[in-house]
Amino acid sequence: MTDIDVVSPYAEDDDTVADAALRPKRLDEFVGQERVREQLSLVIDAASRRGRPPDHVLLSGSPGLGKTTLAMIIASELGAPMRITSGPAIERAGDLAALLTTLCEGEVLFLDEIHRMARPAEEMLYVAMEDFRVDVVVGKGPGATAIPLDVAPFTLVGATTRAGLLPGPLRDRFGFTAHLDFYSPEELERVLVRSAALLGVALDSEGAEEISRRARGTPRIANRLLRRVRDYAEVRADGVVTRSVARAALKVYEVDELGLDRLDHAVLDALLRRFGGGPVGLTTLAVAVAEEPETVETVAEPFLVRAGMLARTPRGRVATAAAWRHLGLRPPALLAADPALFDPADLARSEPP
């Protein structure tokens, strides 16, 4: 047995390195979320003038919108060290106590997926956030003793994709709460131009526009598509990402003009062709596309609902007129007659199966 750590040569791939390189380091480099940036700037500047750590910050929003990046920017703007962990990693109150008692004064603790933290640790966090103290229980039964331990003043930055799952007492202890919205295509174009410059990719304005329209309002997806289009441009074109090159590349990677990918198309295809547009239960739909129900619910459904192609009803998932039209199918007459889900004008625009 050796105490030398063996690291796989594949542990850090090019995409991981690229993601880290593309993260802005300062608030003025961060694209989009203008209101949140202004509010955070005031919180950070006021705390710096007082010479004290800022209030705890809660960031909510869908994956890929910049919650982790903003947490890193907060630490960078404060000139403070940063500790990163996640809710699922903290299984017991003792895990949290060990983490909190080793923090330095002014340190930023980033707690990702905070809504998935264990309840005993969550209750300990209440006191730590408010009084900078943790109570460690020693022993069991009537002889158990609570030993208070001081915690250096710190700033907790919590991130969650499901803010509704956070209990009220925890939400109330955050001094500043921000919700990150999806990006407009114009904002994503600015993200792509900045990323292309950092990656050394020749990207023209039409190429940036084409990629931004298919990025589902998410910078992380935009940057990922840019890297894949870059690969295509270098291998099958002259290295310049134009509109035609972007279209050809995204066709190869099965990303259509609305940003739907392979899984999205599989879900819609199963819902329309196998189940007549629904309603159908989540588990049944997941089995039909050979995926886990959680994958369908958390990866495919949010965008399909936002794009107006899928509706969640008490009876199950139902396709809308936009879904039938997007796949070039005509909805059955019974479903087409439901004004809640279908616009009769769509029938004229739909192609027969």
Residue 229 sits in the same domain as residue 284? no
Q: Is residue 19 part of a domain?
A: no
Domain end among 179, 214, 231: 179
Residue 296 sits in the same domain as residue 324? yes
Q: What is the CATH number of the domain that holds 125?
A: 3.40.50.300
Residue 248 sits in the same domain as residue 146? no
Residue 86 sits in the same domain as residue 170? yes
Q: Worst-scoring range by mean pLDDT, 26-40, 48-62, 187-201, 330-344?
A: 330-344
Binned at pLDDT 50, 70 and 90, residue 225 comes out as: very high
**Contact between 160 and 60 (Cβ < 8 Å):** yes
Q: Is residue 268 part of a domain?
A: yes
pLDDT for the residue numbered 137: 65
Alpha helices in 23-83 (DSSP H): 34-50, 67-78
Residue 143 sits in the same domain as residue 191? no
Q: Which two tokens stand for residue 115?
A: 């809504």
Mean pLDDT on 201-220:
92
Q: Is residue 28 part of a domain?
A: no
Mean pLDDT of the chain: 83
Residue 217 one-letter amino acid = G
Residue 46 sits in the same domain as residue 174? yes
Range of the domain at 149: 33-179
pLDDT above 60 (res 297): yes
Q: Worst-scoring range by mean pLDDT, 164-168, 173-177, 219-223, 249-253?
A: 164-168
Q: Is 82 helix (H, G, I), strand (E, B) or coil?
A: strand
Residue 229 sits in the same domain as residue 91? no
pLDDT above 60 (res 3): no
Domain end among 144, 179, 214: 179
Alpha helices in 214-313 (DSSP H): 219-236, 243-252, 262-269, 282-288, 293-295, 301-306
**Cβ count within 10 A of residue 169:** 12
State pLDDT tens for residues 27-63: 888 998 899 999 999 999 998 888 888 899 999 998 8
pLDDT above 50 (res 162): yes
Q: Which of 92, 101, 64 is nearest to 224 (CA)?
A: 64
pLDDT for the residue numbered 179: 93
- What single-letter DSSP state applies at residue 338? -
pLDDT above 60 (res 124): yes
pLDDT above 90 (res 157): yes
**Which sign, positive or negative, has the C-alpha torsion 62, 216, 255, 282?**
positive
Binned at pLDDT 50, 70 and 90, residue 121 comes out as: confident
Q: Is residue 10 part of a domain?
A: no
Binned at pLDDT 50, 70 and 90, residue 94 comes out as: confident
Q: Is residue 22 part of a domain?
A: no
Q: How far apart are CA 101 and CA 213, in angstroms?
A: 47
Number of domains comprising the chain: 3
Q: Is residue 113 part of a domain?
A: yes
Q: DSSP string covering 32-47, please?
A: S-HHHHHHHHHHHHHH
Residue 48 sits in the same domain as residue 138? yes
Residue 234 sits in the same domain as residue 293? no
Residue 157 sits in the same domain as residue 54? yes
Q: How far apart are CA 33 and CA 184, in angstroms?
A: 10
Who's near 294: CB < 8 A, 6+ residues apart?
none
Residue 277 sits in the same domain as residue 217? no
Active-site amino acid positions: 67-68, 112, 161, 220
Q: Is residue 1 part of a domain?
A: no
Which residue would you say has higher pLDDT here, 12 or 251? 251
Residue 169 one-letter amino acid = P
Looking at the chain, the whole-number percentage of residues with pLDDT higher than 90 is: 33
Residue 193 sits in the same domain as residue 216? yes
